[in-house]
């Protein structure tokens, strides 16, 4: 029977450690590491996500500030807010909840965030650092995937990994992190030919396509480790709603281990956001005068 890799339990342990580290930082610097969350518009899902992130900040002692703007907020207003947050020494992490309303160019807004405060890890400077293996802030979901994978498989050198999905927020950064750890990585997308055969060769499958039950039991090599990132809302035969991943979980008993959905990668994403906020605060305090943003934007 495949072992279940619990993201819920791992995230709880991570949060407990974070609470101690945040308390140490706050004592040493006379202020808590602080996340500014920017919410534009009234998308109900975005509101819930931001509320959850702020609740979790409070749990570990991080400061948090929520900036809400109406759906008619202009790009210039939002850029002005980002500029203020970049300059505010009491703000260590900036998170802009996506999606943004259509009048705002999301890429322009994300590019305006100080890379040292970019706790989502989406800024091109952090993307570049990840791809060159030179540090920087790592996107939260990929970081959570790696923590769960390495809790089961600490040594990744020489393993063959298939990543299903090539998005900038999950697939590509996961692939880069796996490469950095010495895996041989195949990154797949919706045009990939022979996805089942590629998966059958893999020691590790990271499924991030957003397709319910895409990965079937006979795609999985015995003893493989499966990280299921997918979050798919489904309606069961009883008419009740639920959430499932990209992997047909009931067919992978012959795998070594897998992350469940829900309770796998999901809880790790927020925990890693909090970790990034602490990391950003430490880096800003350690090197306030060699800010990448100053060089890049002044
Ligand atoms: P996306 O839609 O941006 O990218 C999906 C990728 O999957 C694309 O590259 C596409 O080419 C590929 N793909 C789609 N169908 C495919 C198929 N049949 N075969 C091979 N490749 C296929 O999605 P995303 O933002 O990367 O998210 C992926 C999934 O992960 C979604 O279900 C999303 O909800 C979930 N997600 C979960 C978390 C979390 O915290 N657990 C965070 C982010 C995303």
- Tell me: the pLDDT tens digits for 65-91? 999 999 999 999 999 999 999 999 999
Question: Do the Cβ atoms of 174 and 150 come closer than 8 Å?
Answer: no
Please give the distance, rounded to the nearest whole angstrom, from the Cα atom of residue 260 to the centre of ligand 1.
Answer: 16
The residue contributing the CA closest to ligand 1 atom 1 is: 167
Give the strands of the sheet with 63-69, arranged side by side. 63-69, 34-40, 93-96
Query: Annotated active-site positions, please?
Result: 53, 97, 120
For position 187, what pLDDT does the model report?
98
Over residues 147-163, the mean pLDDT reads: 98
Confidence of residue 103 (pLDDT cuts 50, 70, 90): very high
265 lines ligand 1 (CB under 6 A): yes
How far apart are alpha carbons 198 and 176 in whole angstroms? 18
Both structure tokens of 255:
């795998």
In terms of Cα–Cα distance, which of 170, 78, 85 is closest to 122? 170
Q: Kindly report whether the global pTM for this prediction surpasses the value 0.80.
A: yes
The Cα–Cα gap between 265 and 29 comes to 32
Q: Are the folds of 29-114 and 140-266 the same?
A: yes
Q: Which atom of ligand 1 is nearest to the CA of 144?
A: 40
With a 6 A CB cut-off, is 189 part of the ligand 1 pocket? yes
CA 245 – CA 205 distance, rounded (Å):
13
Q: How confident is the model at residue 288, as a pLDDT?
A: 55
Pick the CATH number of 140-266 from 3.40.50.1100, 3.40.50.720, 2.90.10.10, 3.40.50.2300: 3.40.50.720
Residue 166 in contact with ligand 1 by CB distance below 6 A? yes
Q: Which of 10, 165, 228 to mutate to test the pocket of ligand 1 (most atoms within 8 A of CB)?
A: 165
Class for the domain spanning 29-114: alpha beta
Q: Which atom of ligand 1 is found nearest the CA of 192?
A: 20
- Domain definitions of the chain by residue range: 29-114, 140-266
Average pLDDT, the chain: 95
- Asked if residue 245 lies in contact with residue 277, where contact means CB atoms within 8 angstroms, the answer is no
């Amino acid at each position: 029977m495949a072992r279940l890799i619990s993201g819920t339990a791992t995230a709880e342990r991570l949060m407990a450690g974070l609470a101690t580290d945040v308390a140490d930082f706050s004592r040493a610097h006379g202020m808590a590491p602080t996340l500014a969350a920017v919410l534009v518009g009234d998308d109900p899902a975005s509101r819930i996500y931001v509320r959850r992130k702020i609740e979790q900040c409070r749990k570990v002692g991080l400061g948090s500030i929520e900036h809400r703007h109406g759906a008619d907020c202009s790009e210039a207003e939002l850029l002005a807010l980002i500029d203020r947050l970049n300059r505010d020494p009491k703000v260590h992490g900036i998170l802009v909840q996506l999606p943004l309303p259509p009048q705002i160019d999301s890429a322009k807004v994300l590019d305006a965030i100080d890379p040292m405060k970019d706790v989502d890890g989406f800024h091109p400077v952090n993307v570049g650092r990840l791809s060159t293996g030179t540090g920087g802030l790592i996107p939260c979901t990929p970081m959570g995937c790696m923590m769960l994978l390495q809790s089961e498989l600490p040594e990744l050198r020489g393993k063959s990994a298939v990543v299903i999905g090539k998005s900038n927020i999950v697939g590509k950064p996961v692939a880069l992190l796996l490469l950095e750890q010495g895996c041989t990585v195949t990154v797949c997308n919706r045009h990939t030919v022979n996805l089942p055969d590629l998966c059958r060769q893999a020691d590790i499958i990271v499924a991030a396509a957003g397709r319910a039950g895409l990965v079937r039991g006979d795609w999985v090599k015995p003893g493989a480790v499966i990280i299921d990132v997918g979050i798919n809302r489904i309606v069961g035969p009883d008419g009740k709603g639920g959430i499932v991943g990209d992997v047909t979980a009931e067919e992978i008993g012959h795998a070594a281990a897998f992350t469940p959905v829900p309770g796998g990668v999901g809880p790790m994403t927020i925990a890693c956001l909090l970790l990034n906020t602490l990391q950003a605060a430490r880096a800003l305090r350690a090197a306030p005068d060699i800010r990448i943003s100053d060089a890049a934007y002044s």
